[in-house]
Amino acid sequence: MIRNWKGLAPLLLAATALALVSPAMAQTPPNVLVIGQIAEPASLDPHVSTASNDFRIAVNIYDGLVRNAPGTLEIEPALATDWTISEDGLEYTFNLREGVTFHDGTPFNAEAVKFNFDRMLKEDHPYASTGPFPLAFFFSSVKDIEAVDDLTVKFTLNEPFAPFMSNLASPTGLIVSPAAVAQYGADYGRHPVGTGPFKFEEWQSNTSVVASRNDAYWDGAPSLEAVIFRPITDANTRVAEMLSGGIDVLLETPPDNVAQFRNDANFQVVEATGPHVWYVMLNAKDGPFADKRVRQAVNYAVNKESLVNDVLQGTADVSAGPIPPAFNWAYNEDVQPYPYDPAKAKELLAEAGAEGASLTFLVTEGGSGMLDPVPMGTAIQADLAAVGLKVEIKTYEWNTFLSEVNPGLEGKGDMAEMAWMTSDPDTLPFLTLRTAAFPAEGGFNSSYYSNPEVDALLDQARISTDPEERGALYKQVQAITHEDAPWLFVANWKQNAVVTSAVGDFELQPDFSLVLRDVTKQ
């Protein structure tokens, strides 16, 4: 526990004031890691949230039954020490770690595990009203959860489900304290309680989230005394804070500043590749993009090479579809990105009778994995204007943007930026490209794309236990959606962060989480 942790806020204010006078004098509190987050979190209930920005905090407060091994997407034990899977792939039995308690002192056991998943999956659960739980579909194949005994829990599925273990390792699989949910109800997301390496202490809106070291952590107490997550939505302000000593970790470094930090011995640039897709969803329900030819036209009209090389300064590659190349076993290398071809774009617009169409483009100021969204939106607007399309940009703060876009584009706009970072090739297309994933059905298919063949392929891929067969199905999905163009396919990000030279053992993860249990600070 931090001694007098409430005193950290004055320390931070003092450090910031010093930074404005003399960067060399500024410093963050000793053995306390201060992180410049890209936005204010929406919720620290991992079953409610969908944003990587929130998950970067949550993974340090909670544990799941399993987790991804550091630097990989390989599954390793966490709150479960081991497990068995039945031959038919329908029963998963987990042996739980003994002697683990939640931060509120209540025991972690099989009943707690059952509570967590029943809360997400059962409409009649006493705490179902603490949702909604938008990613509960990760576990929709679960038929029953049985607490066999105090340290054994069994999941029975209604059909084989290939992504089950990777979904358990995702933030949606993190285990919350049932007692805390009962205490705080719908406000639990402001009072998170887990079993993780850091304990939640305080959330000051638009200022900071503070978490202290869990000295009793089952996997060994962290070196850091505390972590402070500061929401700094403006990228230039985050950079200024890093240069002046107000933060120790700068997340999602603006492309223009990467080289600056790389050439400064006071900082380390940390990079990693992972499954990321940045795209612009196109409203296929009404307006010009209801015609596939218009959707294809904008893919030809936008110079994506210029976006990744000039706007993003080489920190991303051009995307060819909804399956990122990080999933090499499921990625279709035969599907190439749309080339930059304004003449072809104009030809398709003429065929569709859409020359000079007016479009409304929803753009965010920043957010999880959103790269440099305002300059990217402006560049896209210019490229579309060059082929005769009139694009009006509407800009929103991240959480406001999500509240506009997630319920669907109908009646709001024709285009909207979006990014996803996932740990399984199932997640993004299943959540955003199926007919059954329309917002009214609880999904995130805000562009209303619908193709029965894609629906069937995605359903089949979920139950296939043969990796080769499963990969082939996703390759078909990529080929079909590339042709249908429900999105403007833009970029796959190579994630980065900057840390000061005082920070040690900091590593970015392929699943885009922020694991701090082994990080040190001199």
Tokens for 376?
């990217």
**pLDDT number for residue 26:** 53
CA dihedral 421, 425, 431, 437 (to 10 degrees): 160
Q: Which residue has the higher pLDDT, 494 or 230?
A: 230
C-alpha neighbours within 13 Å on the C-beta side of residue 64: 24
Q: Does the pLDDT at position 323 exceed 90?
A: yes
Residue 340 pLDDT class (50, 70, 90 cuts): very high
- What band does 8 get if pLDDT is binned at 50, 70 and 90? low
What confidence score (pLDDT) does residue 179 get?
98
What is residue 512's DSSP assignment? -
- Residue 14 in this model has a pLDDT that exceeds 80: no
- Specify whether the CB–CB gap between 172 and 136 falls below 8 A: yes
Instruction: Please give the share of the chain, as a percent, with pLDDT higher than 70.
Output: 95
pLDDT at 25: 40
Structure tokens, 203 = 């959330």
Confidence of residue 109 (pLDDT cuts 50, 70, 90): very high
Strands (E), 301-451: 316-318, 358-364, 390-396, 415-421
What pLDDT does residue 12 have? 45
Query: What is the b/e burial string over 498-516, where b = at least 16 CB atoms within 10 angstroms of the residue's CB?
Result: bbbebbeebebbbbbbbbb
- Report the pLDDT averaged over residues 135-147: 95
Q: What is the mean pLDDT of residues 256-264?
A: 91
Closest CA to 48 of 166, 208, 190, 236: 190
Q: Pick the more confident residue, 17 or 417.
A: 417
CA pair distance 116, 112, nearest whole angstrom: 6
Model confidence at 7: pLDDT above 70 = no
How is 113-125 classified by DSSP, letter by letter? HHHHHHHHH-TTS
pLDDT in tens, 64-75: 999 999 988 889
**What is the pLDDT, as a whole number, of residue 115?**
98
Question: Tell me, what's the pLDDT at 21?
Answer: 38
Q: H helices of 132-276, where?
A: 164-168, 178-184, 235-244, 255-262
Look at residue 23 in the predicted model and tell me its pLDDT: 42
pLDDT band at 6 (very low <50, low <70, confident <90, very high): low
CA pair distance 96, 142, nearest whole angstrom = 19
| CA 49 remoteness from chain centre | 10
Written as one letter, the residue type at 234 is: D
Distance of CA 292 to the CA centre of its chain: 29
For the chain, the first-to-last Cα distance in angstroms comes to 19
Q: Could you check whether the bond before residue 30 is cis, i.e. omega within 30 degrees of 0? A: no
Tokens of 138: 């990760």
The CA distance from 99 to 442, in Å, is 38
Taking CA atoms, 9 is separated from 43, 209, 418, in Å, by 21, 11, 34
Q: Provide the mean pLDDT of the chain.
A: 93
Is the pTM higher than 0.75? The answer reads yes
Separation between Cα atoms, residue 358 and residue 183, nearest integer Å: 51
pLDDT band at 22 (very low <50, low <70, confident <90, very high): very low
pLDDT for residue 2? 43
DSSP one-letter code for 72: S
Ramachandran category for residue 89: left, alpha or beta (phi over 0 → left; psi -120 to 50 → alpha)? left
| CA–CA separation, 489 and 71 (whole Å) | 27
- Among 13-22, 74-83, 195-204, which is the least confidently predicted range? 13-22
8 A C-beta contact, residue 195 and residue 62: yes
Task: Band the pLDDT of 84: cuts 50, 70, 90.
Answer: very high
pLDDT at 19: 38
Q: What is the tens place of the pLDDT at every residue in 26-52? A: 579 999 999 999 999 999 999 999 888
Predicted confidence at residue 422, as pLDDT, reads 86
pLDDT (mean) for 223-242: 95
Percent of the chain with pLDDT over 90: 83
pLDDT category at 309 given cuts 50, 70, 90 is: very high
Asked if pLDDT for residue 184 goes beyond 90, the answer is: yes
What is the reported pLDDT for 1?
39
Q: Which residue has the higher pLDDT, 371 or 489?
A: 489
479 pLDDT higher than 50: yes
**Paired strand residues for 147:** 153
What's the Cα-to-Cα distance from 245 to each of 207, 324, 404, rounded to whole Å?
17, 36, 35
On the question of pLDDT at 466 being above 90, the answer is: no
Beta carbons of 67 and 76 less than 8 angstroms apart: yes
Cα 470 versus chain centre, distance: 23
Q: What is the mean pLDDT of residues 221-239?
A: 95
Q: What domains can be seen in the chain, in order of their start residue?
A: 1-53+197-248+502-522 (3.40.190.10), 62-196 (3.90.76.10), 276-492 (3.10.105.10)
